[in-house]
C-alpha cells in the first residue's frame, strides 16, 4: 500500500541547520558588517562609525555585559536619549543573550524604580543628564544594581552618578562571538506601556517579532541602502518602532538626534541629506509652525512616518506643503509600534492635498508582515465595511507581543478568539481601511506619550479637597491631546487650579499633569458609573 502523499512530505523533509535559522535582528547587523564594512552606519554630533566600527563596539559591549555577571534571559535597563549607546544596546544586549529594557526618559523616579524592580534588571545604563532621576529610582528600589554612566558630549555638565563611564567600560573587552538565539521565540526586549492602570505593563518582544516588524516597516517607508534615517523618534518608544533594527537591515545610516528641536531637525536634514524620519503629530506641528528663518531648504522629499494620536488632516496637509511625504502608520507597543499603515493608493497623488490628507488620516490596513487587522463587534465578529458601524480594532499575526510580563490576567484579556484587542474603537470602510473613532481604554496620547487617566485620577483623589475626579483627553493644538480633569470638591472645601497642579507635580511626571480643570458634579449612570462620553463633550471647544 502506497503511503499518503502528505505523510511523505511531513516525514521526509525535516528542519536542518542548512534550511532553518532562528529569525533575529542580530542577523541584520552581521550582514551589514559583511556587505557594508566601510559605509557610514552612525553619526552623532561630530562622531561617526562605519558598520565595521559599529559592530566591533557592539560586540565589545556584549562582552562587558557578560563580564558584569548578567546571565542569559536577564534584563539590562537603559535610561538614555537617542545616541550611539542607546542604539548599540539594541544589539549588544541580545547578543549577550539578555533582554533589553529601554526606559522612557520622561518618567519620574517612582515609575523608573517600578520598572527596574518589575523587570528584575541586573544592569542599569544611565545617561548623565538623568543622574538625579536614576539616583532617586535606585534609592526607592532599596537594593543595588550595577550602574554604567553614559557621558554623552551633549549632556549637561556637572551631573554624574560616579559610576564607570560607558566608553571606558566597553573598551578593554574582546568582541563577543556571534551567536543567534537557539529559539527565535525568546525575548529580545521588554517595553513598558501605561495601559489602563497606574503601574506600567511590560510588553515582551520576541526575536522573531522584532525581525519581521523591522522588515515590515522598512518596506512600508521604502528604506534602501542609500537611506539616511533621522532619529526624531525616541528609541525607548517600542524599540524605536523597530527602526533601530530596520535601518541596519538595509545598511542605511542612523543619524542620531539627542533632543527634538525644529531648528536642529531642519539643520540635520540639510546637513546629512536625511531621507526618512518619524514622529508624533506634535513633531509635525513644530515643523509647520517653525519660523521661516529656521527652515533649511532641501530639494528632495523626506518621508516622515507619523503615529500616536491620529494626525488631523490639517497637520498632514501642512507637513506635505513643507516638502515632506507623510506616511500615516498606526500601532501600539503591543504590536511593536506601527503594524498598520495608510497605504497610499495610485489614484491619491492626483487628488488635491486637502482630500488626500483626509484619506491619509485613516489608520489604514495591516502592515506587510502583519497578518490581519479588522474591526470586531462585541461578539468577536467583523463589523460591516460600511464606515459607520463602531467596533474594536484587533490585530493578528507575527508582529504581536509575546504577552505582558508577569501579568497573565492582562495577557488573557488582550488575546481573545485568536485576536489581540487594542481597546481602540473604530470603523471599517468599504475599501478595507480602518479608522479610529474613540478609545475604549481612556488612554490620553499627548505629544506621542501615553497617559493613563486612572493614574492621574488616583493622584487627584488623594488631595484632601477632592471628592471625585475624572480625567479625559482635551484637544490641544500643540500636543494633540492633554489631560483635562473634572473635579467635584468635598463640601465646604476649596482649592485652586494652581494648587492642584502643584500637588500633582509632587506625584506625577510633568507631561501627565492636567493642563485644564473644570469644577463640576460628575455625570453618572444609574449604577454610579461616570459618564465620560459626556465629559468629552465638555472638553471640546465651543462652537461659534
Lowest mean pLDDT among 20-34, 90-104, 203-217, 380-394: 380-394
Q: What is the rounded average pLDDT of the residues 64-81?
A: 98
Specify burial of residue 261 (Cβ count, 10 A radius: 0-12, 13-18, 19+): middle
* Domain limits for position 422: 372-399+408-439
- Statement to judge: residues 382 and 474 lie in one domain: no
Instruction: Find the CATH number of the domain harbouring 532.
Output: 3.30.300.30
pTM summary value:
0.84
Lowest mean pLDDT among 48-57, 288-297, 506-515: 288-297
pLDDT at 7: 67
pLDDT at 283: 85
> How many structural domains are present in the chain?
3
Give the distance from CA 475 to its chain's centroid: 21
pLDDT in tens, 161-198: 889 999 999 999 999 999 999 999 999 999 998 644 45
3-state secondary structure (DSSP) of residue 522? coil
Task: Give the H or E element holding residue 454.
Answer: helix 453-461
What residue has cell string 507597543?
333
Residue 21 lies in a domain: no
From 429, 437, 361, 430, select the one nearest 392 (Cα to Cα): 437
pLDDT at 356: 80
Residue 257 lies in a domain: no
Residues in the chain: 544
CA atoms within 13 A on the CB side of 35: 12
pLDDT in tens, 426-470: 889 999 999 887 666 567 888 888 787 767 887 888 888 988 888
From 259, 248, 264, select the one nearest 156 (Cα to Cα): 259
Phi then psi dihedrals of residue 449, to 5 deg: -95, 135
**Which DSSP category does 382 fall into?**
B
Long-range CB pairs of 195-199 (<8 Å, 24+ gap) are: 195/410, 195/441, 195/443, 195/452, 196/423, 196/441, 196/442, 196/443, 196/452, 196/454, 197/452, 197/454, 197/455, 198/452, 198/454, 198/455, 198/458, 199/114, 199/118
- Statement to judge: residues 421 and 472 lie in one domain: no
pLDDT in tens, 197-216: 457 899 999 999 999 999 99
Residue 359 lies in a domain: no
pLDDT in tens, 227-282: 999 999 999 999 999 999 999 999 999 999 999 899 999 999 999 999 999 988 77
What residue has cell string 533632543?
259
Output the average pLDDT for the chain: 90
pLDDT in tens, 518-533: 999 888 744 445 778 7
Residue 475 lies in a domain: yes
- Statement to judge: residues 499 and 534 lie in one domain: yes
Whole-angstrom distance, CA of residue 501 vs CA of residue 236: 27
Residue 183 lies in a domain: yes
Judge whether residue 311 has pLDDT over 90. Answer: no
Residue 318 lies in a domain: no
- Statement to judge: residues 385 and 512 lie in one domain: no
pLDDT at 296: 77
Amino acid at each position: 500500500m502506497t503511503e499518503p502523499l502528505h505523510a511523505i512530505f511531513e516525514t521526509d523533509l525535516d528542519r536542518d541547520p542548512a534550511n532553518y535559522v532562528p529569525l533575529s535582528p542580530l542577523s541584520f547587523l552581521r550582514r551589514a558588517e559583511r556587505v557594508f564594512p566601510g559605509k557610514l552606519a552612525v553619526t552623532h554630533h561630530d562622531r561617526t562609525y562605519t558598520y565595521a566600527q559599529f559592530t566591533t563596539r557592539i560586540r565589545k559591549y556584549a562582552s562587558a555585559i557578560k563580564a558584569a555577571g548578567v546571565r542569559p534571559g536577564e534584563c539590562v535597563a537603559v535610561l538614555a536619549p537617542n545616541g550611539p549607546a542607546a542604539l548599540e544596546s539594541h544589539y549588544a544586549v541580545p547578543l549577550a543573550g539578555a533582554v533589553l529594557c529601554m526606559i522612557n526618559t520622561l518618567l519620574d523616579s517612582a515609575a523608573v524604580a517600578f520598572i527596574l524592580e518589575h523587570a528584575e534588571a541586573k544592569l542599569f545604563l544611565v545617561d548623565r543628564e538623568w543622574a538625579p532621576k536614576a539616583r532617586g529610582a535606585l534609592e526607592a528600589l532599596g537594593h543595588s544594581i550595577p550602574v554604567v554612566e553614559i557621558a554623552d558630549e551633549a549632556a549637561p555638565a556637572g551631573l554624574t552618578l560616579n559610576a564607570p563611564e560607558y566608553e571606558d567600560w566597553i573598551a578593554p573587552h574582546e568582541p563577543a562571538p556571534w551567536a543567534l538565539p537557539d529559539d527565535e521565540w525568546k525575548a529580545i526586549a521588554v517595553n513598558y506601556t501605561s495601559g489602563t492602570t497606574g503601574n506600567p505593563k511590560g510588553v515582551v518582544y520576541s526575536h522573531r517579532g522584532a525581525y519581521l516588524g523591522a522588515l515590515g516597516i522598512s518596506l512600508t517607508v521604502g528604506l534602501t541602502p542609500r537611506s539616511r534615517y533621522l532619529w526624531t523618534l525616541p528609541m525607548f518608544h517600542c524599540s524605536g518602532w523597530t527602526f533601530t533594527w530596520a535601518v541596519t537591515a538595509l545598511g542605511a545610516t542612523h543619524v542620531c538626534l539627542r533632543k527634538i528641536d525644529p531648528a536642529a531637525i531642519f539643520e540635520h536634514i540639510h546637513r546629512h541629506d536625511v531621507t526618512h524620519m518619524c514622529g508624533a503629530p506634535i513633531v509635525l506641528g513644530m515643523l509647520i509652525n517653525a519660523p521661516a528663518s529656521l527652515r533649511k531648504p532641501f530639494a528632495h522629499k523626506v518621508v516622515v512616518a507619523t503615529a500616536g494620536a491620529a494626525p488631523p488632516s490639517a497637520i498632514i496637509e501642512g507637513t506635505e506643503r513643507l516638502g515632506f511625504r507623510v506616511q500615516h502608520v498606526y500601532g501600539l507597543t503591543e504590536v511593536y509600534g506601527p503594524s498598520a499603515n495608510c497605504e497610499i493608493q495610485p489614484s491619491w497623488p492626483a487628488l488635491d492635498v486637502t482630500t488626500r490628507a483626509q484619506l491619509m488620516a485613516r489608520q489604514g490596513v495591516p502592515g506587510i508582515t502583519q497578518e490581519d487587522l479588522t474591526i470586531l463587534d462585541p461578539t468577536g465578529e467583523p463589523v460591516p465595511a460600511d464606515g459607520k458601524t463602531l467596533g474594536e480594532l484587533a490585530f493578528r499575526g507575527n508582529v504581536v507581543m509575546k504577552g505582558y510580563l508577569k501579568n497573565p490576567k492582562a495577557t488573557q484579556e488582550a488575546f481573545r478568539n485568536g485576536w489581540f484587542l487594542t481597546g481602540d474603537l473604530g470603523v471599517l470602510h468599504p475599501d478595507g481601511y480602518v479608522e479610529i473613532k474613540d478609545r475604549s481604554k481612556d488612554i490620553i496620547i499627548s505629544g506621542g506619550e501615553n497617559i493613563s487617566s486612572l493614574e492621574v485620577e488616583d493622584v487627584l483623589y488623594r488631595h484632601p479637597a477632592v471628592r471625585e475626579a475624572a480625567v479625559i483627553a482635551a484637544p490641544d493644538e500643540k500636543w494633540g491631546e492633554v489631560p483635562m480633569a473634572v473635579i467635584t470638591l468635598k463640601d465646604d472645601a476649596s482649592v485652586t487650579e494652581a494648587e492642584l497642579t502643584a500637588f500633582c507635580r509632587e506625584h506625577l511626571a510633568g507631561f501627565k499633569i492636567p493642563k485644564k480643570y473644570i469644577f463640576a458634579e460628575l455625570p453618572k449612570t444609574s449604577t454610579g458609573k461616570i459618564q465620560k462620553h459626556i465629559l468629552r463633550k465638555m472638553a471640546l471647544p465651543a462652537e461659534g
